[in-house]
Structures are given as structure tokens and as C-alpha cells.
Copies of this chain bind each other. A is one copy, B any other.
Amino acid sequence: MPERITPAPSLVALLSGPDRPGIVAEISGWIFDNGGNIIHADQHRDHLNNVFFQRVEWAPGNNEPNRMLDDLVKTAAREWQMHARAALSSDCPKVAVMVSRAPHCLQDLLLRFKAGEFPGELACVLSNHPDLREIAERDGIPFHHVPISPEDKPGAEKRQREVLSAYSPNLIILARYMQILSEDFLDLCGCPVINIHHSSLPAFAGAKPYHQAYQRGVKIIGATAHYVTGDLDAGPIIHQDVARISHRRSVKEMIRNGRDLEKLVLSAATRWHLENRVLVYGNKTIVFD
């Protein structure tokens, strides 16, 4: 009787720390000496600040995968003075999606989760409006409606966190969620939060970016996926894309074009995050794509 039917998972680590001679040899040597076999490795150096970054993916050989991950993280901290985030390719992180009324990003994420494009599980949808309930539920995804009144935003955020905590999400995606999350929420939610902003940040931060872009007469519109920090629309950028427009395009058409940009940019950022390809560094990201 076979003990293992599925292929052994591979291991992934994202490492960062002070650069020094031999660090590449040391990390790859450790993996090899411990019986692992590197499948992919990608490095980056910030020569200005002398920081080294690496994404390395390897097969664990005869090692018990979780133990080998633990060992690497410990070795990284102790011997290489590096911070390591590590994961198994068989991990299935849980994702919560927060929405308001616009359906397109949610629908796009639902289809991509279903198509197997993301290594993760869509655990629940949370909204401050009831409108998108059917879209979530007909695909079997739990939908929670937590209304928000301007008078009691802290209370609403508390209820949101209670709902979310039942799912222990590893990632929260703001899929055109039209409220600003407080720093408290971000501190307490316990996982990274990715937002899609419908402009090429830093241009047109804030509300109604397409209207701002129309007023300014720009010839290009964009969308930006970024990690959310306490500073509105100023968190580390993961991905951006743009589309050309002309004077022929009304705000309404720009919004329609923009929806496609938003879907593409948010889904790419989500996939890279879930595949452990994104390292946050200061207010920037390194994307090992």
C-alpha cells in the first residue's frame, strides 16, 4: 500500500537580511547538505543599503517537510542573521474578501479561485452592503453583512473582526471595499491586507480617481494593488498596470476600462502573494515573479 499518493510538497522561503560574501553559497549549501534539492532560486541585492533578499524553492528530499522548514527559519535567524518567511507548496492559505457594492473584482476572484489559479482557499466574503450576497453564496462561499454607520465605525470594525476571526484568514483582500480601515483594525486583524486602488498611485489617491483623471485630462489610466498601511493609499505597491485613453472616452467608459485593469492587477498581486513571491521591504516590494 503506497504511503504517499500525492507528490511531496516543495518548500519555499523568503529571506532578507544583511548582505555579506558567501551568503548565497551558505544558504544553498545548507539546503544541499541537509538533503534538499533547489528547484528555483532568485536573489536581489539592495547595494545602497547592503541588504540581501532571496526566494528559494526546494524539494525536501527525505526530510519531513515541516521540520525542514522550521530548521531553515531557525538557521537563518541564528547563523545568517536573516529573517525568513517559509511555506509549503501544499499549504492552503485562507483568504477573506471584503467588498462593498461593485461586483467585478469579487466575481473575478471567485472564478480564478475556482479555476485553480491561486494556491489558497476563498474562506468568506464580508461586506458593508448586502448587495453581493447572491454572488458569493451561489458559489458556496459564506457571505457576511456588517453594516457600517459613520457614528459607530469602531463598533462596526469590531464586529468585522469577530466575523473574520472565525475563519482565521491568512490574507484579507479589499476587492473595491469603499471604507477606510483604521490602524486598529490593521493591527488586530492578524494578517496582511491587499487593496486595489483604481488609479496609478501616487497619482489620484483618494476618492473617485477616474473623475480626477478625467478632469486632469490624462492620456493614461491605471490601477494599483498595494498592501494596506495606516497611511491611505500609500502602502507598498505590489503591481500596477495602465491603459491608454483619449478625449473620446467618457468617465463612464474609463470606469468600464478601469474595471478590467482592476481585475487583472488585483488577481496578479493576489497570486504572487499566495505563491510567496512578494517580500515587503521598507515601503516597497520585491516581487520574485
Contact = CB atoms under 8 A, between A and B. Distances in A.
Interface of A: 21-22, 24-26, 28-29, 31-33, 37-45, 47, 103-104, 107, 111, 115, 117, 138, 200-204, 216-220, 222, 236-242, 246-248, 250, 256, 260, 264, 282-287, 289
Nearest to A117: B256
Given A41-B43, A200-B220, A220-B241, 20 more contacts: A22-B28, A22-B37, A24-B32, A26-B32, A39-B45, A41-B41, A42-B43, A103-B115, A104-B111, A200-B200, A202-B204, A202-B216, A217-B236, A220-B222, A246-B289, A247-B284, A247-B285, A247-B286, A247-B287, A248-B289
Nearest to A271: B256
A103 B286 CA distance: 33
A237 B260 contact: no
A145 B268 CA distance: 34
Contact of A202 (B29, B117, B203): B203
B32 A21 contact: yes
This chain's copy number in the assembly: 4
Contacts of A283: 216-217
A130 to B, nearest CB: 18
Contacts of A41: 24, 41, 43
Given A45-B40, A104-B111, A242 B220 contact: yes
A14 to B, nearest CB: 13
A75 to B, nearest CB: 14
B28 A217 contact: no
B117 A107 contact: no
Nearest to A216: B202
A180 B41 CA distance: 41
A117 B107 CA distance: 15
Given A24-B38, A25-B38, A237 B222 contact: no
Nearest to A44: B247
Contacts of A201: 203, 218
Nearest to A59: B21
Contact of A240 (B115, B138, B219, B241): B219
Nearest to A35: B21
Contacts of A21: 32, 37-38
Contacts of A240: 218-220
Contacts of A248: 44, 289
A283 B237 CA distance: 30
A104 B108 CA distance: 10
A115 B132 CA distance: 13
Contact of A217 (B107, B138, B250, B285): B285
